[in-house]
């Protein structure tokens, strides 16, 4: 959730490099920030609460070693003092940290008795003093290693010492990526932040330590101290994908990228889908698991496999999957779905599933991420970096791949290709100017509302959940997605004159029943927004979506994304960084 960036090399403007690095990580969510630089064997730190905005590094001196951090508060309030980096008593050691130092209170009590002065409320400052204490008896790198091994919880840290020309990094659970340059090296919590500098990377594994200098990186096992040679990977992303370009924000850019991404999946993914389809078919007891939007994608996947392949696949939210573990066997397959590949609830589910002997299939967007490495089988979504907190292009990319997988199991991958291509064309039409004008008009109509309800059946049910998620995520308006057949069981009590109801009515077996649900809402005074392949007199507002068979869920969801996005713009809010939320949920 927090952002980390580090630099060591020949360039003396290291503080500016790091500052730009943490600015590129703003989308991860944060409430304070800070930068540290080493100059003349001293550590200089600037840190502030609030957003970076138009801030700058001010009077930080020139130096060739720097690190920076964007903090999401867990221990201690949002204050300048609690922001990272944190230093020890001597001012010679500084630490930045992602995660939770679970047993910090016991260490803090002991350190205070030893005479350490701890001024913030954070667990991270305790770590800086713990390293200082260990360094009285050990060389610096070994002191960092020892202190890290004394921590409980899932963490990633970077430590610098004013007297050493190196950075030391270790992780367990929380992501860290090393970037390799010429005469310089980099560190980040997200690989996308490294793209302006290098594509050569190594994703640190759990309890792996990196001792980083300008000339190279020494890797070792943080448990046994043995050195090892990493397998360096090359990122297949482009720098342009991390920039807004002609768009006012990342969310709009990423929405408009979807037709091309879906087309690429239709063209380039069938061979891998066929291989994975055979593996899914051989499994006995399969689960689709995801968190947030990925949980709705997982639910949609269960419908796709049932409808197309006539195969039952279980579905579970990542944080709830642990309660299903008793049913896993060595023949089971867990299909774990994640944009970042670092979602903590998913990683914990995967770890427990592997202990049961189950195999893991990762559907993930980030090459080399923890989920990617942990999986027995994997498919990359190939959507490129996604920087808006609200996921868009990765959601529809996942759905396109799941559609191909379902058709693969059904033995008709060519039909699957054709269906996904239809979805790409339908999605492109959703984003044409004529339709955008309709959507803008609707956004103006919805601007003053307090509640929005979204209904659907079959594949339109997860579409309704995802659309409601997008609306509440970035507009802060209460929105609820629900199965249309459940209206009589309680939700109708919430409908009054003018209550907006978005109804998905695709050209499939659910059309009549979905229409009946919309009629129930209309009869109670509801304002009906029909998303369908044809108009109907029931609709107060009509948004056309061309039929794409089972993959109609893709352009339907894109329509929902645009409703949420344009309503956010009407409200004058930032769609990229909604309040209280972070892009990658790397803690529990």
User: What CATH number corresponds to the domain at position 534?
Assistant: 3.40.50.10490
Answer yes or no: do 436 and 314 share one domain. Answer: no
- Is the domain of 440 the same as that of 360? no
pLDDT tops 70 at residue 170: yes
Q: Give pLDDT, residue 276.
A: 96
User: What pLDDT score was predicted for residue 53?
Assistant: 79
Domain membership flag for residue 168: yes
The CATH number for 167's domain is: 3.60.20.10
The verdict on 376 and 304 lying in the same domain is yes
pLDDT, tens digit, 9 for 90 and up, residues 33-67: 999 999 999 999 999 998 887 788 878 999 999 99
Q: Are residues 395 and 470 in the same domain?
A: no
Q: Using DSSP, how many helices (H) and how many strands (E) does the chain show? A: 16, 25
Does residue 545 sit within a domain? Answer: yes
Confidence (pLDDT) at 368: 86
Total-model pTM: 0.89
Position 1 scores a pLDDT of: 64
Q: Is the pLDDT of residue 521 over 70?
A: yes
| Residue 531 covered by a domain | yes
When pLDDT is cut at 50, 70 and 90, the band that residue 181 belongs to is: very high
Confidence of residue 240 (pLDDT cuts 50, 70, 90): confident
Domain span including residue 86: 3-235
86 and 199 part of one domain: yes
Q: Distance of CA 120 to CAs 128, 151, 155, 230, Å?
A: 12, 18, 19, 37
Measure the CA–CA gap between 464 and 453, rounded to whole angstroms. Answer: 9
Domain count, the chain: 3
Report which DSSP code applies to 205: P
For residue 414, being part of any structural domain is answered with yes
Q: Domain check: are 202 and 77 in the same one? A: yes
Q: Where among 430, 459, 493 does a domain terminate? A: 430
pLDDT in tens, 186-220: 999 999 899 999 999 999 999 999 999 999 999 99
- Whether 583 sits among the annotated catalytic residues: the reply is yes
Chain position carrying tokens 């998303």 = 531
**pLDDT at site 164:** 87
pLDDT band, residue 586 (cuts 50/70/90): low
Mean pLDDT, rounded, for 360-369: 93
356 in the same domain as 301: yes
Per-residue pLDDT, averaged over 154-161, amounts to 94
Same domain, 387 and 455: no
Can you give the pLDDT at residue 30?
83
Higher local confidence (pLDDT), 53 or 175 = 175
Quote the pLDDT of residue 588. 62
Q: For residue 581, is pLDDT > 90?
A: no
The mean-pLDDT minimum among 296-300, 323-327, 355-359 falls in: 323-327
Q: Helices 293-309 and 393-409: crossing angle, nearest 10°?
A: 20
Neighbours of 219 (CB within 10 A): 18
pLDDT for position 361: 98
Q: Is residue 586 part of a domain?
A: no
Is it the case that residue 144 has pLDDT exceeding 90? yes
- The verdict on 78 and 217 lying in the same domain is yes
Last residue of a domain, one of 403, 430, 457: 430
Neighbours of 351 (CB within 10 A): 12
- Whether 158 and 294 map to the same domain: the answer is no
Same structural domain, 491 and 501: yes
Residue, of 366 and 570, whose pLDDT is higher: 570
Q: For all residues of the chain together, what is the average pLDDT?
A: 94
Q: Read off φ and ψ for residue 145, nearest 5 degrees.
A: -60, -45
pLDDT at 75: 81
Contact 202/231 with Cβ under 8 angstroms? yes
- In terms of Cβ atoms closer than 10 Å to its own Cβ (0-12, 13-18, 19+), residue 310 is exposed
In this model, does residue 105 exceed pLDDT 70?
Answer: yes
The mean pLDDT of 255-259, rounded to a whole number, is 98
Model confidence at 476, in pLDDT bands (50, 70, 90)?
very high
Distances (CA, A) of 172 to 303, 351, 363, 586: 36, 13, 22, 11
- Whether 145 is covered by a domain: the verdict is yes
Residue 132 lies in a domain: yes
Share of the chain above pLDDT 90, in %: 86
How far apart, in Å, do the first and last CA atoms of the chain sit?
11
If you write DSSP's letter for every residue of 13-68 in order, what string do you get? BHHHHHHHHHHTTGGG--SEEEEEEEETTEEEEEEEES--TT---TTPPPBSEEEE
2 or 346, which is more confident: 346
What one-character DSSP code corresponds to residue 196? T
Pick from 78-87, 316-325, 464-473 the range whose average pLDDT is largest: 464-473
Q: Which of 22-26, 499-503, 574-578 ranks highest by mean pLDDT?
A: 499-503
Please determine, for residue 28, whether its predicted confidence score (pLDDT) is greater than 90: no
The residue from 2, 134, 291, 501 that is catalytic is: 2
Sorting pLDDT into bands at 50, 70 and 90, what band is 439?
very high
Boundary of a domain, candidates 381, 410, 430: 430
Do 252 and 287 reside in the same domain of the chain? yes
- Residue 587: what pLDDT? 64
Set 359, 378, 470, 583: catalytic member: 583
Whether residue 580 is contained in a domain is answered as no
């Amino acid at each position: 959730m927090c952002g980390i960036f580090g630099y060591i090399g020949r360039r003396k403007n290291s503080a500016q490099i790091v500052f730009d690095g943490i600015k590129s990580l703003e989308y991860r969510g944060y409430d304070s920030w800070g930068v540290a630089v080493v100059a003349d064997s001293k550590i200089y730190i600037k840190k502030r609460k609030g957003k970076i905005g138009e801030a700058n590094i001010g009077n930080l001196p020139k130096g060739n070693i720097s690190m920076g951090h964007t903090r999401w508060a867990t221990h201690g309030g949002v204050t300048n003092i609690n922001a990272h980096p944190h230093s020890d008593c001597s001012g010679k050691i500084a630490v930045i940290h992602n995660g939770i130092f679970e047993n910090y209170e016991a260490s803090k009590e002991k350190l205070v008795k030893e005479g350490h002065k701890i001024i913030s409320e954070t667990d991270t400052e305790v770590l800086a003093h713990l390293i200082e204490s260990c360094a009285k008896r050990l060389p610096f790198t070994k002191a960092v290693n020892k202190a890290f091994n004394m921590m409980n919880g899932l963490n990633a840290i970077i430590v610098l010492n004013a007297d050493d020309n190196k950075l030391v990094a270790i992780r367990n659970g929380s992501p860290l990526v090393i970037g390799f340059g010429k005469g310089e090296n980099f560190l980040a919590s997200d690989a996308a932040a490294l793209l302006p500098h290098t594509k050569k990377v190594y994703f640190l594994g759990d309890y792996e330590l990196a001792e980083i200098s300008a000339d190279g990186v020494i890797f070792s096992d943080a448990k046994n101290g043995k050195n090892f040679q990493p397998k360096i990977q090359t990122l297949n992303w482009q720098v342009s994908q991390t920039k807004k370009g002609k768009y006012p924000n990342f969310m709009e850019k990423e929405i408009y990228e979807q037709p091309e991404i879906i087309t690429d999946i239709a063209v380039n993914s069938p061979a891998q889908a066929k291989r994975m389809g055979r593996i899914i078919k051989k499994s006995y007891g399969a689960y689709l698991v995801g968190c947030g939007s990925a949980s709705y994608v997982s639910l949609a996947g269960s419908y796709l496999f049932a409808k197309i392949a006539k195969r039952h696949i279980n579905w579970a939210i990542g944080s709830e999957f642990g309660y299903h573990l008793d049913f896993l066997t060595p023949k089971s397959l867990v299909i774990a779905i994640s944009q970042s590949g670092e979602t903590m609830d998913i990683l914990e589910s995967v770890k427990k599933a592997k202990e049961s002997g189950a195999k893991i299939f990762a559907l993930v967007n980030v090459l080399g991420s923890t989920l990617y490495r942990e999986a027995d089988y994997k498919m990359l979504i190939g959507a490129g970096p996604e920087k808006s907190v609200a996921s868009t292009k990765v959601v529809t990319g996942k759905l396109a791949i799941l559609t191909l997988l379902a058709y693969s199991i059904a033995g008709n991958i060519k039909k699957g290709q054709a269906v996904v291509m239809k979805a790409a064309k339908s999605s492109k039409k959703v984003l044409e100017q004529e339709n955008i004008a309709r959507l803008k008009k609707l956004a103006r109509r919805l601007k003053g509302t307090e509640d929005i309800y979204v209904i659907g059946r079959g594949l339109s049910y997860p579409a309704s959940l995802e659309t409601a998620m997008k609306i509440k995520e970035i507009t802060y308006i209460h929105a609820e997605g629900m199965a249309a057949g459940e209206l009589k069981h309680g939700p109708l009590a919430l409908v009054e004159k003018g209550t907006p109801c978005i109804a998905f009515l695709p050209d499939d077996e659910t059309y009549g029943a979905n229409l009946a649900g919309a009629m129930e809402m209309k009869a109670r005074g509801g304002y009906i927004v029909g998303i369908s392949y044809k108009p109907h007199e029931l609709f107060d507002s009509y948004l056309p979506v061309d039929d794409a068979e089972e993959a109609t869920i893709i352009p339907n969801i894109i329509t929902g994304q645009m409703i949420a996005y344009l309503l956010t713009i009407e409200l004058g809010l930032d769609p990229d960084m909604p309040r209280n939320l972070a892009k990658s949920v790397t803690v529990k």
